[in-house]
Structure 1
Amino acid sequence: MLRYPLFSLWAIALGSLLAACGSGVIPDLDLLKQSRQPGLSKLGMAIPEPMDEPTWAFEPEPDTYSDAALLDLRGLNEAIAGETGFVRRSDDGRDFVKGDGTPLRFWAINSEVWSRSPESLVNHAKFLAKRGVNMVRWHGNIPSQDEGAPLAAINVEERERLWQYVAAMKQEGIYLTLSPYYSLWMKPQSQWVTPRSGDDMHGLLFFDPELQAAYKEWLKQLLIPVNPHTGLALKDDPAIAILQLQNEDSLLFWTLKNLQGEDLALLQQRFGDWLKERYGSLSQAVEPWQGATPDEQLPDDLEAGLIRLYPLWELTQEPPPEQSQPRNSSGKLKRMADQTAFLTETMHQFNAEIVRFLREEIDTPLLINAGNWKTADPMRLNDAERYSYSVAEVIGVNRYYGSVHHGERSGWAITTGDRFTNQSVLTQPGSFPLNLKQVANYPMIVSESSWVPPLNYQSEGPFLISVFQSLTGIDGFYWFTAHTPQWRQPASANGHFPSIGKWVMNTPELMGNFPAAALMYRQGYIQSGQPVIGEVRSLDELWQRRSPLISETRSFDPNRDDAFVQRRAGGNQGIHPLSFLTGPVEVTYLERAGAGSQTPTAQVQPLDSYINPESHVIHSVTGEVMWDYEQGLCWVDAPKAQGVTGFLKANGTIELTDVSLSSDNHYGTLWVVPLDGEAIATSNRLLVQVGTRTRPTNWKVTPATWTDKKNQIHEGFEILSYGEAPWQIVETDMVFTLRNTTIDRAIALDMNGMPLNSLPITQTSEGISLLLPPTGKYVILEKST
């Protein structure tokens, strides 16, 4: 069978790749993009706005959770979250399991609905569970911000709303992740002892003893009192799966430069103490630095124990090769290595102390995620950041996909006059949020993410996340964020400013595409791959900021950086930056090995047969997934999960094992998954789900070209009108064929899974074909008798 007829996947020779590997150079994604054929390099911009395809108004009835619904995934969840005990790690540490040891995967969201009434929470929990959600994240900030409140006080009203939130979610089998502290939201008050200088709280939690003492009090007041709505303290409630110590803070991110005055002096004092503990004395510590200093005008004060810090920018610069280092550079490199180690170990020690505190003093078995942030340089500092998390049980990161968006309020709203680009990630694979290097034998979560508006190519998001979470073993992806109990129509970003919301996900082409995506991920319908790269890094490598085998960024020039030309066991070959899309990429951090211990070595699978830079096609090591970033297309072809997302019309008829699709939609997504757990070819009941594109009613834009503050030129659109409710969704224009001889009935559903009408089908010797309905998203295929 010709499964992908527009081009042969392997007809193009791999000679150029092999030659590049042999010469120590692998082209980066910017070079790959330049090689695309004219007219195809901007598929994401190929159709002008406003959308020139027919649309239908998205005006669903409120969901009343009728038993007559033909699509309801509530049964995937436990009757009550945590009914078999606390969530824990699997025996190998990589994954989550329920209290009874059953494997557990999370289809997750962030939600702000916890601040609403109890009735809204119950409605919200039912709505989420029906669509396949089994985890929500409480993105809060428990310290009191009341005027005159002491530093150790908490917001008791917020705790009460959280208690109600936990009770509502628990009853629908939905677990919770608690994130109780966000330094960005902290508003320092004059009566507090910290911060000592300035009004910025970033970074202080890791080293300020006054803030750390208050933080422990916050945790006690959050976790120990009994929730009156469940009868359990949060520390004892198995519906709480993960406690995230803090949100988006790091000593390795640019916010370090905000420290000033007494707060900076405190960190410098800590640096001096750290050096004395490591080297015996400050004089012994600084001797190898050979006089290197961040500022000749501000020397270290050894007598006072104050050691200056290099600006973080210095740590992002590539160290010169050892053989070409100037004579006077070795001291500076040693000092920067000590600084990198100090900043990382300061975070690591704080995380270790809070883990101890939670286990020994609060006495809770909740899984702990220490952090979720990024660094000033993903290549040189990310591994140090992740190592600092490894004292806890869960590794985390926040990472979004979105277009360029410039406007006065573009951080939180979309409004008239804003300018944006509109590119599908299918043609930008280096920006895919799941291009992640996982720490071996740890679960990993993406605690915030989305396909962020005004980006219009969103239906690909749930499809790709479901497929690649399954393939790579990433354990939870939390969509950001829900503000209303059910659907969110276009509305003001803050309730009054003329705009529409930017950070929204309970919309037609995101949450509307949850059912099939959640089902195939949570049920394991797509194979997980074996690790394709298993990197091993010593802590000394991290402190010296050496280039890793592979990095989670594509912004490197192969002629200047060795990001893609790395050490590899058995030869000097390159690691392609899109290796993340073939299977799991992992790293192990080696602390000081004990006597007789065996040191693991890096393991790298040959990937030449899976990545073809000439045709721009990537295959998974499992053989079930293909991504073509030239044509802007990705498909999955597994016995129990088949579908495709991307630029459908340009790619003609798409043939999978049991499914064929022909579409006149410029862009769209189609899933086919069994509802009875059987293979698609023999199932008696299947869900067909479709996605296209959506915009608000009366949305208007005009083509625009502009130069940003960094003198980068962008081609995209300027918003003339941000529109109004309801959403307008591009009509489905797809002819679908299924090779399954048991199916003889098709039923169109509304957005609540309720039956609307039977659809005409054409039966063939191999199965059926049908024209999918232009409006709606869900069709049930079944055997009538």
Structure 2
Amino acid sequence: MIASTGGAETRADIWPRERVLPYSPIPDLSFLNEKPAGLRGRVRAQGAELVFADGTPARFWGANLQAYALFSTRPANIRAQAKRIAALGFNLIRIHHHDSHWVTPNVFGTNAPETTRLDPQSLDILDQWISALKDEGVYVWLDLHVGRRVTAADGIEDFDEITDAEGHADIHGYNYVSGSIRERMLEFQKAYMSHVNPFTGMAYRDDPAIIAVLISNENDLTHHFGNALLPDKNVPAHNALYMAVADAFAARHGLDREQIWRSWEFGAPKIFLNDMEQRFHAAMMEDLRQGGFEGLIATTNSWGNMSIAGLPSLSEGSLIDMHSYGGPGELDIDPLRQADMLSWVAAGQVADMPLSISEWNVSPFPAEDRFVSPLRVATSAAHQGWDAPMIYGYAQQPLNQALEPSNWDAASDPAMLAMLPAAALLYRRAHVQPARETYALRLTPAQLFAGISPENSVAIRTLYEQSRLVVELPQVPELGWLAPRRAAEGALVVTNPETAYLPHGAGFVESDTGEFRRDFARGLFTVDTARTQLAAGRLEGGEVQLSDIVVNMKAPMAAVAVQSLDGQPINGSEKILISIAGRLQPVEDGRSVYLREPLQGQLHIRAADGLRLRQLDGKTQPHDTENGVYMIDLSYLSGEQWLMLER
């Protein structure tokens, strides 16, 4: 049996088999969290930053906890998993797919005939999760609508137009025109946010550990669901409502009523769709505020390769929320030619607003280089000043036993797990500096609604890995509610999104701080700072020398990160975390068993004298020392993902 990737071949039958257990040893980064969550009061937006009530800057490294993991994890395991989540370095969990029809039970119970009643048993489980996470210093993000499918018993007007063969209806898009759907959504958020958690003694709306809510997940008109309301979609009542709003908007602003409703076109239709979204979200946000919620509110998300034409309505929330998914080979993407997953995030950074990423990942599973993505997300987030990246997800399966290999269950994927603590430490301890320069994409209203995105803007693609990139929002006459957003004084203005900021034929892109570099010609990512030094990607291309480490490996795809845990530079630290990842493939029977590619090579670290190399269980590992350099033969690690070099 031969496993072949990128031209390199390895005999898979000599790869060791590794079973992933629910509580296999991991580094303990829980010291990064203040306990309990909410200790410093409410998190609020302050310009482009998130801060606590006492003025302390807030930075969140998070994950999704979704679907069956929410409602089918046994109570004893909820507490244990909350501790494990904190140990991995997370301080934010998004509660997701709580209402989705395919999850049984969900927040409405098991096979509920209607969706207007919250199930007490399901709420009890959510209460336990929130309490356990709070105790471990982990904050919570709540979604208000994700995958709810209404039923005939829910009292939805013109329900027969949108029902499916099973008697349910997806409300995405229709909520913007249907008064009865909006009422059901308002009723849900009132009941959900006013629910008192008996384990914390606080209603969700009052708990400072619950920092944010999302009104509706992946539910925009500007790029996705506006088309569901068109005349040819066989929804005459909903289309009539849509057309009436479009006609009124056109008349009010002197626009062409024969064009304005054409949702698939850029220009004036996108202005109209932004206005429709804003009016709905304004009502939902007013209800949340009147109900007493003082936390952050995200309206919906920029997702599915949306252009910046969708940003105006999103800017009405407390922060812009992004979703971005990449694929295998992200390190190889030439930004002069193609967009990568993080360029889509960068295109959503509105000037003077915080930015969250409530979903990121790479697919399809199992991408051989998936362990590189946490390192790149954390590095760009620190460099750009993004506020809350969240991997999708920590777990989707019940957390009671070993999980089947899955893209949505990082909790049991040894490849992702290997680098998640390293990424958390890098990001939360600010081991990577903010960019020195800020570039502001300054567009006219006509340009803003013309469909600009990383797909067609080489400026976006080539700038974000070098310097901070923000998108300014101009004043738009038809959108009286839109607050113009300008970059801070000193920003370098970009007016032509087709301008390249890398020389033709370049083979790498490097940050303006000099701290990280992506060599896309080789497929190698490096970070070189005082407290984090790492190399990830195709390490077989030759020795990688950084300030205090040298990586010399023969690996088609691997990563090595060396980090100070005591706040000192690596070369003077007395507590160093070493994270190691190589290619892992799950066996074909769906069990939590992986084949691990053996790693061969040397890691040299210049550090303080007298340190010892240990596994997480305390067992000493062999190594040599010469002239203050620790020389580690990676061939003898037997699959260890983490080592400690400490006094």
1:582 aligns with 2:466: yes
Instruction: Sort the Cα spacing of 1:640 and 1:191 in 2 relative to 1 into closer, same or farther, 3 A.
Output: closer
Unaligned runs of 5+ in 1: 1-42, 280-284, 295-307, 316-335, 403-422, 492-499, 557-562, 565-574, 700-721
Show CA shifts across 1:317-346 (max 9, x none).
xxxxxxxxxxxxxxxxxxx61x32221111
**Does structure 1 conserve the Cα–Cα contact (< 8 Å) formed by 2:20 and 2:402?**
no
The equivalent residue for 1:370 is 299
Structure having the higher Rg: 1
Q: Hey, what's the Cα distance between the residues in 2 that align with 1:104 and 1:59?
A: 37
2:423 is the counterpart of 1:517: yes
Asked whether the 8 Å contact 2:296–2:319 carries over to 1, the reply is yes
| Unaligned ranges ≥5, structure 2 | 100-106, 164-169, 230-234
Per the alignment, residue 329 of structure 2 pairs with 424
Determine which of 74, 77, 81 is the counterpart of 2:30.
74
Post-superposition Cα deviations, 1:536-566, rounded to whole Å, max 9, x if no partner, equal 2344543xx3364xx322xx4xxxxxx44xx
Q: Is the 8 A contact 2:396 2:408 kept in 1?
A: no
Question: Alpha-carbon deviation of 1:738?
Answer: 1.3
CA distance 1:195–1:608, shift in 2 (3 Å): closer
Shift of 1:114: 2.0
Aligned partner of 1:104 in structure 2 is: 58
Report the alpha carbon displacement of residue 630 of structure 1 after superposing the two structures with TM: 0.9
Distance in 2 between residues matched to 1:466 and 1:231, nearest whole Å: 35
TM-score by length of 1: 0.71
Shift of residue 358 of structure 1?
Answer: 1.5
- Look up the match of 1:349: 279
- 1:652 corresponds, among 542, 546, 551, to 542
For residues 214 and 576 of structure 1, do their structure 2 counterparts lie closer, same or farther at Cα, with a shift above 3 Å needed?
closer
Q: Summarize the Cα distance change of 1:612–1:733 in structure 2 as closer, same or farther, 3 Å threshold.
A: farther
Deviations 1:566-613 (A, max 9, x none): xxxxxxxxx36322211221012122699xx99879734899998344
Is the CA contact (8 Å cut-off) linking 1:652 and 1:662 kept in structure 2? yes
- How far 1:149 sits from its partner (Å)? 5.4
Q: Answer whether contact 1:434 1:469 (CA < 8 A) is retained.
A: no
Contact 1:150 1:192 in 2 (8 A): no
Q: Distance in 1 between matches of 2:112 and 2:31?
A: 48
Aligned to 1:18: none
Matched, 1:458 2:348: no
* Offset at residue 432 of structure 1 (A): 3.1
Q: Distance in 1 between matches of 2:504 and 2:609?
A: 41
The residue that corresponds to 1:46 in the other structure is: 7
Q: Per the alignment, do residues 680 and 180 of structure 1 end up closer, same or farther by CA in structure 2, a change over 3 Å counting?
A: same
Supply the distance in 1 between the matched residues of 2:608 and 2:76 (Cα, whole angstroms). 46
2:238 corresponds to 1:263: yes
CA distance in 1, matches of 2:420, 2:238: 46
User: What CA RMSD, in Å, does the superposition of the two structures yield over aligned residues?
Assistant: 3.0
Please state if 1:642 is matched with 2:533: yes
Distance 1:161-1:209 versus aligned 2 partners, 3 A rule: same
Quote the Cα distance in structure 2 between the aligned partners of 1:535 and 1:737: 43
What's the offset of the Cα at 1:487? 9.6
Q: 1:357 to 1:723 in 2, by over 3 A?
A: closer
- Cα-to-partner distance string for 1:431-475 (whole Å, 9 max, x where unaligned): 532212201111111111212203222111111112111111121
Q: 1:517 to 1:150 in 2, by over 3 A?
A: closer
Q: 1:491-502 counterparts in 2 under 5 A? A: 491=404, 501-502=406-407
Query: Does the C-alpha gap of structure 1 residues 160 and 537 become closer, same or farther in structure 2, counting only changes over 3 Å?
Result: farther
Alignment-derived partner of residue 58 in structure 1: 18
Secondary structure of 1:450 counterpart: strand
Q: State the distance in 2 between where 1:524 and 1:681 align.
A: 18
Equivalent residue runs for 1:28-39 within 5 Å: none
Instruction: For residues 203-230 of structure 1, give each alpha carbon's deviation from its aligned partner in whole angstroms, at most 9, with x where no partner exists.
Output: 1222322222221111110111321111
Q: Which has the higher contact order (CA 8 A, sep 6+)?
A: 1
Match of 2:644, SS?
Answer: strand
* Shift of residue 667, structure 1, vs aligned partner: 1.2
Match runs of 1:58-207 below 5 Å: 58-59=18-19, 63=23, 71-90=27-46, 93-112=47-66, 113-115=69-71, 116-142=73-99, 144=108, 152-182=116-146, 184-189=147-152, 192-196=155-159, 197-199=161-163, 200-207=170-177
For 1:676 and 1:95, the matched residues in 2 are separated by 26
Residue by residue, what CA displacement relative to the aligned partner does 1:734-771 show, whole Å, maximum 9, x if unpaired?
3111122425311122xxxx22x212222222422111
Show the counterpart of 1:777.
Answer: 641
Contact persistence 2:581–2:641 (CA under 8 A): yes
Distance 1:515 1:341, change over 3 A: same
Q: Secondary structure at the match of 1:449?
A: strand
Match of 1:742 in 2: 609
Matched letter for residue 589 of structure 1: L
C-alpha displacement at 1:374, in angstroms?
Answer: 3.0
Q: Does residue 669 of structure 1 match 2:559? A: yes
Structure 2 CA distance for partners of 1:732 and 1:490, relative to 1, 3 Å? farther
- Separation in 2 of the partners of 1:64 and 1:629? 34
Q: Give a deviation string over 1:347-397, Cα, whole Å, max 9, x none.
A: 1122222222211x201111111111436x74xxx3232210111111111
CA–CA distance in structure 1, aligned partners of residues 545 and 400 of structure 2: 34
Measure, in 2, the Cα distance between the counterparts of 1:610 and 1:384. Answer: 23
1:614 to 485, 502, 505: 505
Which residue does 2:584 correspond to in 1? 694
Matches of 1:102 and 1:191, distance apart in 2: 44
**Alpha-carbon offset, residue 195 of structure 1:** 4.8
Trace 1:279-290 onto structure 2 (pairs within 5 A): 279=253, 285=254, 289=256
Give the 3-state SS of the residue equivalent to 1:661 in structure 2. Answer: strand
Report how many aligned residue pairs link the two structures: 602
Tell me, yes or no, if the aligned pair for 1:450 and 1:461 is still in contact at 8 Å: yes
Inter-partner Cα distance in structure 1 for 2:514 and 2:494: 15
Q: CA deviation at 1:490?
A: 6.0
Please show how residues 391-430 of structure 1 align to structure 2 within 5 Å. 391-402=316-327, 423-428=328-333, 430=338
**SS state at 1:253 partner:** helix
CA distance in 2, matches of 1:126, 1:485: 16
1:633 aligns with 2:633: no
Structure-2 separation of matches of 1:144 and 1:270: 33
CA distance in 2, matches of 1:128, 1:732: 28
1:449 is the counterpart of 2:348:
no
